[in-house]
Structure 1
Amino acid sequence: MKKRTLGQGLEVSAVGLGCMGMSQAYGAYDEADSLKTLDRALDLGVNFFDTAEAYGPYRNEELLGRSLASRRAGLVIATKFGFTFKAQAGDHGAISGTDGRPEHAKEVAEASLKRLRLDVIDLYYLHRADPAVPIEDTVGAMADLVRDGKVRALGLSEVSADMLRRAHAVHPIAALQSEYSLWTRDVESNGVLAACRDLGIGFVPFSPLGRGFLTGKQVGTDGLEEKDFRRSLPRFQDENLAANRLLVEAVTRMAEARGVTAAQVALAWVLAQGNDIVPIPGARRIRHLEENVAAADIALISDDLDRLNDIFAPGKVAGARYPEAFEKLTKT
């Protein structure tokens, strides 16, 4: 597996593994299958694994702890704090707010270390900034964890360029995580990607396959389980779905002409945006993991990139990323 380097010298596989779907969000999950997928990821050279306390909640960190703790050497395990959520059985960790208080940052880190069965968290993200807490205060507490040897490097998720710069002034930030894919390209125009590069911060795109839509296999909400959260996403609804399906069909035709899959084209496009970018597509099954990892060896030519940029130019994708209520909840 090819390697790339995030900020603060974190060397990671060019394609990481987002683990949320192994424990929530996309309907029923099978931990036995997930454990097999995690084992296969290690065999393929994937060393960058992304989780959070909110995934499950808690179950995903516990799953990674069971799978990865015995093969710890060389791994970069990232987890996150900063959401509040309903933790009762059956609620699937429904997000209820944000909590960036310094004491909360430290409490969650201690709990995550136990669930992950680690002595140190390699990359500790603030999942979403808390509008009620200055970012300097939150990052200051996270920096204390670095000094105490409990965290190796710090990250932020879905913050503005200004907030990223303010945070970085308190303590070096190694990685900024945000949604980025052919159909979500906000970071190209809102200054976030440019700020990462100015400051030497690695960029980690989540949902680089558009929550499965860019694979060409997920044509809408038909067939999705009742509790699959994609049922609530505007881009999967009605007239938005019809418009977006036409965009993905163009990617599928390009992939077929090259003997690869639409998912691999979509990931290869993300990888081609810079060596400081490390996507973390999710995969619950081995065949999807292997398909994603193979994308690291696909080099798109400039004509391919230009064509994809044109197909997914700003304004051509229909619908917002999230329902309005969630957008308001997490807006900083």
Structure 2
Amino acid sequence: MANSINLVAGRLPLSKIGLGCGVFSGAYGLAPQADATKAVRAALRNGVNLVDTSPYYGDSELKLGSALLEVKDEFPRSSYHICTKVGRYGYHISDFDYSAKRISESVYESMRRLHTDYLDIVLCHDVEFVDIAQIVDVTLPKLLELKQQGLVRKVGISGYPLEVLLRICQIQQERGTPLDVCLSYCNFNLHCQALTAFVPKLRAAGVETIIAASPLSMGLLCDGETPEWHPAKPELKNAVKQCIDLVQSCNEESKISLAEIAENYAFSYSDVDVHLVGAKTAQEVEHALRAYARAQQLQLYAFGKYEDDNIQSIYSQIKTILEPFAEYTWLSPPSNA
């Protein structure tokens, strides 16, 4: 299966699928250390070479670090790339600290948790929660200094509002220090394709690596209950519920789930460099990799065609139900932050 994951160009040879380790926090269900270790091993054995985490994700860094220690004989540090984040340490705006001192401390703390003496990628986490001036005048200069010291290899940003991400990237380009990486989440999936209009603009701003995270829109496009904390408005949640009911009513004939259709669609978008997928077990990792391989055959984003007429009918109806939300985004930061 490893051969099905193409490597993208750039100084960091990243696999097209990255392992999102935020799910190790338990936000999407129980995530024991043993399962996390098996998930990391399965990902690395199948050609995934990017693991993503953050201090904000509970004990994710600790679990990922323990997993990487456990597999070190099979996978030395040079065989994979670690992406972590700085600046966000809780839910509320008061839990953000983008000062140069805290950024430096955070990098060293992450290295200790992850048992490494360098970090491949460090992103400013959820940049929309603080003033842009803080990011471009204080935080990014500090990260670039740490990059010069060899502690960080690539510097970038992550967040939700695409306009904010783009503006920061443009400012950095204007200053002669373009960002290496930009991570956008929930902006390309079955219900929202807003990212497509921004990818060319991010490229024009000098961004080397664009990462699209959460193909299942933080659990919204799954077949079970939507996480209680999910920020989507009720109208979108109700539309997704219609899609779930549709798939389940046809399940005897189709043998497919909403999550599978969503993954087939998201992974067929090839203009980004990496699709970041949360997986907390080896089985979830293997499922995601099969979905990626399937997506390369189907190319739903480009052509929108299943070979099975029953599944094609379901997919067409789902796209019709979700079409009104193609450009919809929720408020970030939320009003109660």
TM-score by length of 1: 0.79
Which whole-Å deviations, capped at 9, do the CAs of 1:98-155 have from their partners, x for residues lacking one?
A: 2222222211111111111111100100002231614232111110011000001112
Considering only aligned residues, what root-mean-square deviation do their CA atoms show, in Å?
Answer: 3.1
**Equivalent position SS for 1:4:** coil
Q: Distance in 1 between matches of 2:111 and 2:221?
A: 34
Please point out which of 175, 181, 196 is paired with 1:188: 196
Q: How does 1:79-98 map to 2 (within 5 A)?
A: 79-85=84-90, 96-98=94-96
- Do residues 5 (structure 1) and 5 (structure 2) align? no
How many matched pairs?
304
1:178 paired residue number: 184
The answer (yes or no) to whether the contact 2:239–2:322 under 8 Å persists in 1 is no
Please point out which of 203, 208, 220 is paired with 1:197: 203
2:323 paired residue number: 313
1:135 paired residue number: 136
Which whole-Å deviations, capped at 9, do the CAs of 1:212-243 have from their partners, x for residues lacking one?
A: 2323x2244xxxxxxxxx21224485x65332
Which whole-Å deviations, capped at 9, do the CAs of 1:198-219 have from their partners, x for residues lacking one?
A: 224322122211222323x224
Q: Distance in 2 between matches of 1:137 and 1:285?
A: 38
The answer (yes or no) to whether the contact 2:199–2:271 under 8 Å persists in 1 is no
The answer (yes or no) to whether the contact 1:98–1:128 under 8 Å persists in 2 is no
The answer (yes or no) to whether the contact 1:234–1:323 under 8 Å persists in 2 is no
1:28 paired residue number: 30
Q: Distance in 1 between matches of 2:236 and 2:320?
A: 18
The 3 A distance-change label for structure 1 pair 322 and 231 is farther
**Equivalent position SS for 1:157:** strand
- Do residues 218 (structure 1) and 219 (structure 2) align? no
Q: Distance in 1 between matches of 2:247 and 2:289?
A: 19
The answer (yes or no) to whether the contact 1:126–1:156 under 8 Å persists in 2 is yes
Q: Distance in 2 between matches of 1:13 and 1:252?
A: 33
The 3 A distance-change label for structure 1 pair 80 and 294 is same
Post-superposition offset of 1:165: 1.3
Q: How does 1:275-290 map to 2 (within 5 A)?
A: 275-290=271-286
- Do residues 40 (structure 1) and 45 (structure 2) align? no
Please point out which of 293, 296, 313 is paired with 1:297: 293
Q: Distance in 2 between matches of 1:33 and 1:246?
A: 33
Identity of aligned residues (%): 25
Post-superposition offset of 1:175: 1.8
2:166 paired residue number: 161
AA aligned opposite 2:46: L
The answer (yes or no) to whether the contact 2:183–2:211 under 8 Å persists in 1 is yes
The answer (yes or no) to whether the contact 2:24–2:60 under 8 Å persists in 1 is yes
Which whole-Å deviations, capped at 9, do the CAs of 1:64-115 have from their partners, x for residues lacking one?
A: 1122242222201100011133xxxxxxx77743222222221111111111
The answer (yes or no) to whether the contact 1:53–1:81 under 8 Å persists in 2 is yes
Post-superposition offset of 1:170: 4.9
**Equivalent position SS for 1:77:** strand
Q: Distance in 2 between matches of 1:285 and 1:265?
A: 20
Q: Distance in 2 between matches of 1:203 and 1:21?
A: 21
Q: Between 97-106 and 317-326, report the one with greater CA deviation.
A: 317-326
| Unaligned ranges ≥5, structure 2 | 307-314
